[in-house]
Amino acid sequence: MKGKATSFDIAHYAGVSQSTVSRALRNSPLVNEETRKRVHDVAKQLNYKVDKNASNLRTQQSSTLALLLFEDPTSDDSQINPFFLAMLGSITRACAKEGYDLLVSFQSASADWQADYEDSHRADGIILLGYGDYIDFQPKFKSLLEQNTKFVCWGATVDNRPDLTVCCDNYGGGKQAAAHFIAHNRSDCAFIGDASDHSPEFFARFQGFKDELLANKVTINERKMANAISTEESGYHATRSLIANNIKFNALFAASDLIAIGAIRALKEANIKVPKDVAVVGFDNIAIASYVNPPLTTIEQNTTVAGQMLVENLLKLIRGEEVQSTLLPPLLIARGSS
């Protein structure tokens, strides 16, 4: 061949129509697997590259997804929760596999970000990671739904629409933490996190924790609960307040790993040994969890599968396909802190 290969060249060599080539290169379900593979093989042999601009003009789509990361209080200047950073790689790979570009944007929770993406057609759909106070965020969810924006969210269920959400079984994770303490004869338990409707994921973790303790005839005293957002500093100060009020406990469940890491620092400063005096369990399994001293026992949320499911579900919404609710199973990772 001379010159740049076209879809008509692929059709000729693959023995199919040009429209079939277009569908096969988009991985359309209307093309059977054998034909799709033959078309892709010929395209590869001819070094054919899809002209995204031309394709987008025909379909009125950008072939781009927007990933919006919202600011979080952090101990550095990043203002990005490290748990969300762990999910970024999985989302990027899943987009590339589907032939989509990923536009990553850091947003202030107060900004009118939905107009920037939906109205300007910069992206066909939006993935939301983090939203701060869930109660305050409700109006923005409502706005997205009213505009018929295609979006999926990591975390709590959006306005009774579980199909728009991918999340971990936070309640089940809390139960696993309590069961772990009970199995190791730790029944004098404390909880650090926001157990309210403002943080539904933390609240679900607490509810599972409390219910599993009750199932084993153990109650958690409200005095042994301290409010905290997901930062090391917040976990540190919440734990110090318990210690300062002479509140005794031999097990501590933190609603996130960052809270747990701050809690361990506060316990050490008070000469309370972990895990001899107090066993500690966190939630998330962020990368640093296995490197703190002692290594942190935690409830893992599978960020690899989470990222894949966020992209998969969003593309189904864009294509008008049915989307099932996605609840990922948690996994307790036992380490030295408990």
Mean pLDDT per 10-residue section of the chain, whose length is 338 residues: 76 85 77 89 82 47 80 58 84 89 72 52 82 74 80 82 89 98 96 90 95 95 92 95 96 96 97 97 95 97 93 92 90 97
Architecture of domain 64-168+303-329: 3-Layer(aba) Sandwich (3.40)
The CATH superfamily of 170-300 is: Response regulator (3.40.50.2300)
In one-letter notation, the amino acid at residue 119 is D
Looking at 1.20.200.10, 1.10.260.40, 1.10.3720.10, 3.10.20.520, the CATH number of the domain 7-50 comes to: 1.10.260.40
Residue 311 confidence (pLDDT): 94
Same CATH fold assignment for domains 7-50 and 64-168+303-329:
no
User: Phi/psi at 14 (nearest 5 deg)?
Assistant: -85, -10
In this structure, are residues 86 and 290 in contact, taking their beta carbons and an 8 Å threshold? no
The alpha helices in 113-157, defined as continuous H runs, are 113-114, 134-146
Closest to 233 (Cα-Cα) out of 255, 200, 265: 265
In angstroms and rounded to an integer, the radius of gyration of the C-alpha atoms of the chain is: 24
The whole-number pLDDT of residue 195 equals 87
Neighbours of 191 (CB within 10 A): 29
Indicate the burial class of 119 (C-beta count within 10 angstroms; 0-12, 13-18, 19 or more). exposed
Q: What is the pLDDT of residue 111?
A: 54
- Per the CB < 8 A criterion, the answer to whether 338 and 296 are in contact is no
Is residue 107 within 8 A of residue 71, CB to CB? The reply is: yes
Q: Where are the domains of the chain?
A: 7-50, 64-168+303-329, 170-300
Residue 177 Ramachandran class (φ > 0 left, ψ -120 to 50 alpha, else beta): alpha
- CB 52 within 8 Å of CB 63: yes
